[in-house]
């Protein structure tokens, strides 16, 4: 078949022995074993259920469910059926979900059973035709309905340029933007990573991935799932990250992927030893800066050098430290551009900079997204006239081609691998009774890398209680976005132009969690 359907390419790599175990769950009540045939048939049944709805091509299927192997099958089913997968963080609450549903206009929403009441109400009000439930114990209406459908399905023919997924990333100002990723974007990246990270064939002893990241972001969904599937490699599957439990399974694995918080939590486990890592081939970190202390501590404790790579929702993976030799992996850098990916540094006037000079990181390649869903102006703003994507990250490239990220021009906080945009949190805080204005900044945090902190200025005569602000925000937005600390202040520091000097606030609170 000449179809560019990403699913067909992934399934084409499944081993010939379809009855071999593809996924073993590590933290379900009983271990569950899924064979390659189970993945094939389970995703076919869900794909046939979706097909029976007779949706227009490229309908969006929005999914906000707890992690489970069935949630991954749902993703594969959406690819097979030729529709567009829209993953949503389980922490999002009604106001956040309402925005995504209004903006993406999904034809189907799948949610956790415990959220069906409010999610279905919101979805039906927005004209969504179908709402199913899916829980992490293999229950819910999605699987109950899919059980009536055949377990054979021919993946719908898709071109490389057809949409496979929309991943929402928060906006610097205003609301989130949906990054449109195509079958071609995802497949080209999966193939490049397979060869760059030297995934081993069965003949070379094979690989086994510990999958312990959430399924609703690029790292867990695309880099990790595609990585294992396109190599026909089995996974040890965690629905939730638990450092001790992961350490216990390392002796059976060869590859692990994590955000830096996962590495610092693993380092806190006495069981993390060289012996525990004896079968491991590769530890990969990304989604947020890996501190050099973590990089070195990992080397000392395990004898392994973490391979750091860099990517974004809009581009999937962009750069990676070399696989070989291990000594070429440089801590504090995100490595070299992946084959086929262009990375350049320009100043704010669009002029190219020399090796070592710091400027905006711009990228180009088959992995770069198609644009923001229904936001042509925002899309145009983020590309240069010669069509390079402006990442919003600031860095430099050295003579050998290694890219180092030194900061961000976008006002973004990355907390434990989750992105938080200060403007969004300030918007909610400013709506609270008695609040005149607010400023949200990120400060160093030993567990999350950065933590969200807010400074609130009360209206004249109003009394603001910091804990009440936190409680009020927790009732409205995903808890990971809620400031870990709130300070009440008579005013915000401003420069002569009247702009809030967030750098002063960051400096003031730098040692808060030290
Ligand atoms: C959880 N909490 C967080 C948080 N995660 N707070 C700040 N930042 C975070 N990242 C809060 C919860 O809201 C809750 O607060 C409390 O901590 C306990 O919640 P939990 O669910 O029990 O937390 P835990 O399981 O410990 O989760 C921590 C974590 C998780 C590190 C395992 O955050 C995680 O899986 N992060 C990975 C994110 C990721 O995959 N990013 C990839 C993005 S893709 P309360 O108030 O309710 O008690 C990308 C592109 C690329 O960036 O390059 O890869
Ligand atoms: P997201 O929008 O969730 O895809 O987040 C993408 C952002 O995460 C990038 O623009 C970077 O700012 C950041 N990021 C990803 N990987 C790394 C890394 N290895 N080091 C530093 N920042 C990273």
Going from the Cα of 268 to the center of ligand 2, the distance in angstroms, rounded, reads 24
Distances (CA, A) of 164 to 76, 178, 334: 10, 12, 27
Q: Decide if pLDDT at 2 tops 70.
A: no
Q: Which of 477, 413, 383, 466 is nearest to 179 (CA)?
A: 383
Mean pLDDT of the chain: 97
pLDDT band at 171 (very low <50, low <70, confident <90, very high): low
Calculate helix-pair angle for 36-52, 69-81, nearest 10 degrees.
Answer: 50
**What mean pLDDT comes out for the span 463-487?**
98
Question: What's the confidence (pLDDT) of residue 4?
Answer: 84
- pTM confidence score: 0.97
Q: Which of 348, 351, 318 is nearest to 333 (CA)?
A: 318
Question: What's the confidence (pLDDT) of residue 1?
Answer: 42
Going from the Cα of 414 to the center of ligand 1, the distance in angstroms, rounded, reads 10
Ligand nearest to the CA of 410: 2
Going from the Cα of 286 to the center of ligand 1, the distance in angstroms, rounded, reads 14
Ligand nearest to the CA of 289: 2
CA–CA gap between residue 56 and residue 356 (Å, rounded): 50
Question: What's the confidence (pLDDT) of residue 248?
Answer: 98
Q: Decide if pLDDT at 161 tops 50.
A: yes
Going from the Cα of 257 to the center of ligand 2, the distance in angstroms, rounded, reads 15
Does ligand 2 come within 6 angstroms of the Cβ of 220? Answer: no
- For 347, phi then psi, to 5°, come to -85, 180
Q: Decide if pLDDT at 214 tops 70.
A: yes
Q: Which atom of ligand 1 is nearest to the CA of 241?
A: 32
Q: Which atom of ligand 1 is nearest to the CA of 479?
A: 13
Q: Decide if pLDDT at 470 tops 50.
A: yes
Containing 456, the helix (H) or strand (E) segment is strand 449-458
Going from the Cα of 193 to the center of ligand 2, the distance in angstroms, rounded, reads 17
CA–CA gap between residue 212 and residue 248 (Å, rounded): 13
Q: Which of 172, 186, 239 is nearest to 23 (CA)?
A: 239
Q: Which of 391, 393, 388, 340 is nearest to 364 (CA)?
A: 388
Name 85's bridge partners: 61, 165
CA–CA gap between residue 157 and residue 82 (Å, rounded): 7
Residue among 286, 336, 442, 449 whose CB has most ligand 2 atoms within 8 A, to mutate: 286
Does ligand 1 come within 6 angstroms of the Cβ of 449? Answer: no
Q: Residues near 432 by Cβ (< 8 Å), separated by ≥ 6?
A: 469, 472, 473
Q: Which of 455, 428, 456, 415 is nearest to 93 (CA)?
A: 428
**What mean pLDDT comes out for the span 359-367?**
98
Nearest CA owner, ligand 2 atom 12: 393
- For 247, phi then psi, to 5°, come to -55, -40
- For 336, phi then psi, to 5°, come to -105, 155
Going from the Cα of 109 to the center of ligand 2, the distance in angstroms, rounded, reads 28
Does ligand 1 come within 6 angstroms of the Cβ of 447? Answer: no
Going from the Cα of 71 to the center of ligand 2, the distance in angstroms, rounded, reads 24
CA–CA gap between residue 43 and residue 39 (Å, rounded): 6
Q: Give tens-digit pLDDT for 71-110.
A: 999 999 999 999 999 999 999 999 999 999 999 999 999 9
Q: Residues near 15 by Cβ (< 8 Å), separated by ≥ 6?
A: 36, 202, 232
Q: Which atom of ligand 2 is nearest to the CA of 308?
A: 19
Share of the chain above pLDDT 70, in %: 99
Going from the Cα of 480 to the center of ligand 1, the distance in angstroms, rounded, reads 6
Q: Which atom of ligand 2 is nearest to the CA of 286?
A: 19
Nearest CA owner, ligand 2 atom 7: 312
Going from the Cα of 216 to the center of ligand 1, the distance in angstroms, rounded, reads 12
Nearest CA owner, ligand 1 atom 12: 480
Nearest CA owner, ligand 2 atom 9: 312
- Other beta carbons within 10 Å of 234: 23
Going from the Cα of 413 to the center of ligand 1, the distance in angstroms, rounded, reads 13
| Among 2-6, 127-131, 385-389, the least confident range | 2-6
**What mean pLDDT comes out for the span 13-40?**
97
CA–CA gap between residue 337 and residue 320 (Å, rounded): 7
Distances (CA, A) of 341 to 193, 316, 389, 436, 504: 12, 11, 11, 46, 37
Does ligand 1 come within 6 angstroms of the Cβ of 286? Answer: yes
- Strand arrangement, sheet containing 130-133: 130-133, 108-111, 60-64, 84-87, 163-169, 177-182
Question: What's the confidence (pLDDT) of residue 170?
Answer: 73
Does ligand 2 come within 6 angstroms of the Cβ of 169? Answer: yes
Does ligand 2 come within 6 angstroms of the Cβ of 359? Answer: no
Q: Please return the burial class of 291, using the count of CB atoms within 10 Å of its CB with bins 0-12, 13-18 and 19+.
A: middle
Three-state DSSP class for 131? strand
DSSP assigned state of 228: H
Q: Strand ranges (DSSP E) for 127-271? A: 130-133, 163-169, 177-182, 209-211, 235-237, 255-258
Q: Which atom of ligand 2 is nearest to the CA of 392?
A: 10
- Other beta carbons within 10 Å of 91: 16
**Three-state DSSP string of 175-214:** CCEEEEEEHHHHHHHHHHHHHHCCCCCHHHCCCCEEECCC
Calculate helix-pair angle for 292-302, 260-267, nearest 10 degrees.
Answer: 50
**What mean pLDDT comes out for the span 222-245?**
98
Does ligand 2 come within 6 angstroms of the Cβ of 363? Answer: no
- Polymer length in residues for the chain: 514
The runs of H, that is alpha helices, within 334-416 are: 376-382
pLDDT band at 351 (very low <50, low <70, confident <90, very high): very high
Residue 419 · residue 170 · CB < 8 Å: yes
Question: What's the confidence (pLDDT) of residue 172?
Answer: 54
pLDDT band at 409 (very low <50, low <70, confident <90, very high): confident
Q: Give tens-digit pLDDT for 122-145.
A: 999 999 999 999 999 999 999 999
Going from the Cα of 149 to the center of ligand 1, the distance in angstroms, rounded, reads 36
Nearest CA owner, ligand 1 atom 2: 480
Going from the Cα of 242 to the center of ligand 1, the distance in angstroms, rounded, reads 12
Q: Which atom of ligand 1 is nearest to the CA of 478?
A: 13
Nearest CA owner, ligand 1 atom 26: 241
């Amino acid at each position: 078949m000449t179809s560019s359907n990403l699913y067909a390419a992934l399934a084409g790599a499944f081993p010939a022995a379809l009855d071999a175990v593809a996924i073993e769950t590590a933290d379900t009540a009983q271990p569950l074993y899924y064979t390659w045939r189970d993945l094939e048939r389970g995703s076919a049944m869900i794909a046939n259920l979706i097909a029976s709805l007779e949706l227009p091509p490229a309908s969006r299927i929005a999914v906000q469910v707890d992690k489970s192997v069935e949630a991954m099958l749902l993703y594969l089913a959406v690819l097979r059926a030729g529709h567009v997968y829209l993953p949503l963080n389980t922490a999002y609450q009604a106001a956040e979900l309402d925005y995504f549903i209004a903006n993406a206009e999904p034809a189907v929403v799948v949610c956790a059973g415990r959220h069906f009441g409010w999610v279905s109400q919101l979805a039906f009000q927005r004209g969504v035709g179908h709402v199913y439930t899916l829980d992490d114990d293999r229950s819910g209406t999605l699987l109950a309905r899919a059980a009536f459908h055949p377990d054979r399905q021919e993946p719908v023919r898709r071109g490389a340029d057809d949409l496979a997924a929309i991943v929402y990333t928060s906006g610097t100002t205003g609301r989130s933007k949906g990054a449109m990723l195509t079958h071609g974007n995802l497949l080209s990246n999966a193939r490049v990573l397979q060869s760059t990270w030297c995934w081993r064939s069965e003949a070379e002893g094979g690989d086994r991935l510990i999958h312990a990241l959430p399924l609703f972001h690029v790292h867990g969904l695309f880099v990790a799932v595609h990585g294992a599937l396109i190599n026909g490699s089995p996974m040890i599957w965690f629905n939730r990250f638990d450092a001790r439990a992961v350490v216990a399974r390392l002796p059976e694995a060869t590859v692990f992927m994590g955000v830096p918080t996962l590495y610092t939590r693993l380092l806190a486990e006495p069981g993390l030893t060289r012996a525990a890592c004896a079968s491991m081939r590769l530890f990969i970190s990304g989604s947020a800066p890996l501190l050099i202390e973590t990089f070195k501590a990992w080397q000392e404790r395990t004898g392994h050098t973490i391979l750091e790579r860099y990517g974004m929702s809009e581009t999937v993976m962009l750069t990676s430290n070399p696989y070989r030799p291990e000594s070429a992996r440089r801590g504090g850098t995100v490595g070299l551009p992946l084959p086929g990916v262009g990375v350049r540094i320009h100043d704010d006037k669009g002029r190219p900079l020399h090796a070592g000079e710091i400027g905006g990181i711009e990228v180009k390649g088959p992995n770069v997204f198609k644009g923001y869903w229904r936001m042509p102006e925002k899309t145009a703003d983020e590309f240069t006239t010669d069509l390079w994507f402006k990442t919003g990250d600031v860095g430099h490239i050295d003579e050998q081609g290694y890219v180092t990220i030194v900061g961000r021009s976008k006002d973004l906080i990355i907390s434990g691998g989750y992105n938080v945009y200060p403007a969004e949190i300030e918007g909610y805080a400013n709506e609270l009774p008695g609040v005149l204005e607010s400023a949200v900044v990120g400060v160093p945090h030993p567990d999350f890398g950065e933590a969200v902190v807010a400074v609130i200025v009360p209206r004249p005569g109003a009394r603001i209680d910091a804990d009440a602000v936190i409680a009020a925000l927790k009732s409205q937005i995903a808890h990971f976005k809620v400031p870990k600390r709130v300070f009440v202040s008579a005013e915000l520091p401003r420069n002569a132009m009247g702009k809030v000097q967030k750098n002063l606030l960051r400096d003031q609170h730098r040692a808060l969690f030290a």
